[in-house]
Structure 1
Amino acid sequence: MTPTTTAYTADDLSAAAELAIRAPSMHNSQPWRFGLAGDTIEVRLDLTRLPDIPAAGWAGRVSCGAAAFNLRVALAVLGRPANVIVQPLDRDPAVVARLVPDEPRPASGAERTLYAAIPRRHSNRAPFNTQTVPADVRSRLREAARREGGWLDLIIGANAVNALAEVVNAANRVLQRDEAYAGELARWRRAETAQDGVSARAAGYAPEPQDVLPMRAFGGRTRPLGRDYEPEPLVAVLGTPTDRDGDQVVAGQALQRVLLTAADAGLAVSMFSQPIEVAAARDRLRTALGRHGVPQMVFRIGYARQPGYPSLRRPASSVIDPPRGPGPDRAADR
């Protein structure tokens, strides 16, 4: 007999949300909420959690896309796989993705691998060592982005890295001249025990002028002598073919698959969104890559000298909404 789909339950959502909240978000703002709607699970953008910056909508949709990917992987391992509908047809502006039950099946080996990597993944803003990332691992990272509808360009060689770093640093300087931007960084600085934002320990070392790529100034520690950042990091740019709202949610899913693939390979990653936040820098970056698509994130990838410190998260129970009915138009999604 062919297995039939059944509605998601509160237990399904509760178990999957524990992993969904481990997704990355700008300033660890965690701009997501989850809830049952009929037989589906919705990922909702919480506008009250977004940093007060011009690129807040982009940042929120990418973050919610990453959370939707974690939900999808967790549900698959629970034996409750999902199809993800991005920007559902009912156009509730708060709903960025809807997970619809698929036919029950055992989780694949790839899904189990990604699932195991979710608790291990976190941004590492400390220096990496100079060990080269092998070619086969680089191919896995590119394939991870492609599997989710994105692309990943790896920037290799000192000249190429320096050219990209110039774009990132120029964008960072533009942002630093903005008093509102400085205010947002200060607002999201947190104590070690805080459940959101970025603590000084998680921030790594305070930025210095000789750094190739500019870390955000979240009050990081003064670095000891000999602890400069690697002079020629492996840098990657993640992008999508276009840049509609739905593309940004897709970018979040691709982002998370790349990050989990990197974590499974023992790699450390830190992200730089400054050139995405500044429109002129984003266009300059696209032109430099020779891409018709749109950059969505810049990464620094390598092998960590030290494990780094994960930022804490709010409890999953605090971001789960009460169930609601499917609504008149949601059947159109299926």
Structure 2
Amino acid sequence: MTWLDRFPALGTEQLSALRRFIDGAFRAFTREHGQAMEQLFEPLRQFLLASERLLTQTPWPVVVGVIAVVAWVASRNWKIVLGAILSLLVIGWLGMWDDTMKTISMIFVSTVVALVVGLPIGILMSRWDRMQRIVNPALDVMQTMPSFVYLIPVVMLLGIGRVPGLIAVVIYAVAPVIRFTNLGIRLVDKDLLEAADAFGSSAWQKMRQVQLPLALPTIMAGINQTIMLALSMVVIASMIGVQGLGQPVLKAISNQYFTMGILNGMAIVAIAIIFDRVSQAYGKRLQKHLEVVHG
């Protein structure tokens, strides 16, 4: 007899009753607190709408110019800048400009929210091992859970729209920021921390002036992965009302529009490559700079 044999298995009726109880309790919670939850996330909705209006209503030469300047400042690589400009021009020529700008605004806002949530958690994990033991299992579940599952509780709480999709994207993509922030801070050379202690630095001063600057290349790698995960969630989030390139792809799947699906899918790939190359190049520049300063 194994230890499992000591516990009676749940019958079909018992299991069904348990599921009905949990579902009923969740529905009751959403009915009672759904409106309050919507009001809680109203500033997030306004932030997303403002970002979307800024990108869609600004003349396209200005948007292309700003993205080119950001790419140059981050990468100092003309090939990356030229690739970003050409990709955006082709996207606009093919009539996908508005959807692309909506997707970029969603990725921008979700990345900002992921940083606001993930950086403090990663810092706390690096300072307290108990915090790390608590958060790591949750991150494991978040990274292995099928992405469609995130949509169920979010839609039940907030309905269909931009904000539920944004929250689902953030939940799906926030884990790398947390993990890489924790890892980057823990990898800081102990000798540098001892030197900071010798100069009488407080814990906050060590974190702000030593640990976070030295961990920046690793944190940038986490931001890169967060952006990639957010982009991969765009098509799935379009199922609950997130506007952008995901909706034409979903329409193409439903109606078997091969060309529409390929073109919008390639636009998502182009955005992913731009974000990936720029963030990676910036991380490498930070790494080289730190090697020169501390080398």
Structure 2 length-normalised TM: 0.26
> 1 or 2, which has the higher helix percentage?
2
The structure with the largest alpha-carbon Rg is: 2
> 1 or 2, which has the higher strand percentage?
1
Larger RCO of the pair (alpha carbons < 8 Å, separation 6+): 1
Structure 1 length-normalised TM: 0.24
